[in-house]
């Protein structure tokens, strides 16, 4: 198995939509290239932030083809999720044919069954591909909690499982996983507002959300945390945290697209049933963005 592609800063890239609700492939390609030019190490499309649950199968494949062409030597590492195991396997195989270089494997949409069902589902996807894979553990969103012992068992059974994106919200999970698997798996932080804590606990990567609007700041924050530059890291993290917390609420897709619009890197269009945020939540987000932009030059000096 080649070295893991699941390291450093990996944007959970948003899916831009045109006014007719079709995917804007031109902007998608440019946006991915901007992320990579800022120092990100690869691209993760079709995840929760990428509105993968609202994209049709053919749309997903076209997104992957666009990104593989745009990313050059950088890996495209899509989220693989579907209503059924059969559909997830088909998407994994289509992603491999499209030139993707790794997969982020999610539990099935909607169904929240026993852990053995989640294990069987992701196991089928892992067996269906030769690509290196990262398990995505996000129990609040998907209702399945892949515990550290379960992750260790999956790693023992599937050599192409090389990483886990940990989004339980419990920083102790990073050390618990590493205690069981050692260096066998890379652990990545999956929640924006605990990246520094996760890296301190041993995470080797960050699947980031606000990176869609602030890639240079995201790369710098991760590298300062990784390199143990505590004072500079703390200053940048303090500035970034109000923005990063926008990634941790149910409206995170709409909010991150709002931030993108405010910095001139996209717009607020989301696919229904989502709608752009309104009212107090919108006003709060705009105030956070305004304050961050006013202080941005100082923290990045």
Residues annotated as catalytic are: 136, 165
Residue 168, φ and ψ in degrees, nearest 5 = -75, -20
Other beta carbons within 10 angstroms of residue 242's beta carbon come to 16
CA dihedral 20, 21, 26, 29 (to 10 degrees): 180
Q: How far apart are CA 224 and CA 242, in angstroms?
A: 19
What H or E segment, with its residue span, contains residue 206? strand 205-208
> Which residues have CB under 8 Å from 98's CB, separation 6+?
61, 64, 65, 68
For 241, counting Cβ atoms within 10 Å of its Cβ (0-12 exposed, 13-18 middle, 19+ buried), the class is middle
């Amino acid at each position: 198995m080649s070295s893991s592609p699941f390291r450093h800063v990996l944007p959970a890239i948003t899916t831009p939509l045109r006014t007719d609700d079709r995917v804007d492939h031109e902007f998608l390609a440019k946006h991915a290239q901007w992320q990579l030019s800022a120092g990100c190490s690869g691209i993760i499309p079709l995840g929760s932030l990428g509105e993968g649950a609202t994209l049709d199968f053919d749309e997903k494949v076209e997104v992957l083809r666009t990104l593989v062409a745009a990313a050059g030597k950088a890996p495209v590492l899509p989220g693989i999720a579907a209503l059924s195991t059969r559909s997830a396997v088909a998407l994994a195989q289509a992603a491999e044919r499209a030139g993707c270089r790794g997969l982020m494997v999610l539990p099935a949409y909607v169904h929240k069954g026993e852990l053995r069902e989640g294990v069987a589902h992701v196991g089928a996807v892992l067996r269906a591909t030769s690509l290196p894979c990262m398990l995505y553990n996000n129990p609040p969103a998907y209702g399945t909690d892949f515990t550290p012992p379960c992750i260790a068992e999956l790693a023992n059974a599937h050599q192409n499982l090389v990483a886990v994106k940990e989004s339980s919200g419990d920083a102790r999970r990073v050390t618990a996983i590493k205690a069981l698997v050692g260096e066998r798996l890379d652990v990545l932080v999956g929640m924006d507002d605990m990246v520094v804590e996760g890296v301190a606990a041993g995470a080797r990567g960050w699947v980031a959300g606000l990176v869609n609007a602030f890639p240079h700041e995201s790369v710098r924050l991760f590298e300062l945390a990784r390199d143990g530059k505590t004072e500079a890291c703390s200053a940048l993290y303090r500035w970034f945290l109000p923005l990063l917390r926008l990634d941790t609420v149910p409206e995170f897709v709409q909010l991150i697209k709002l931030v993108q619009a405010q910095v001139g890197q996209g717009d607020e269009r989301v696919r229904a049933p989502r709608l752009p945020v309104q009212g107090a939540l919108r006003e709060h987000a705009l105030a956070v963005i305004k304050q961050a932009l006013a202080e941005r030059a100082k923290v990045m000096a």
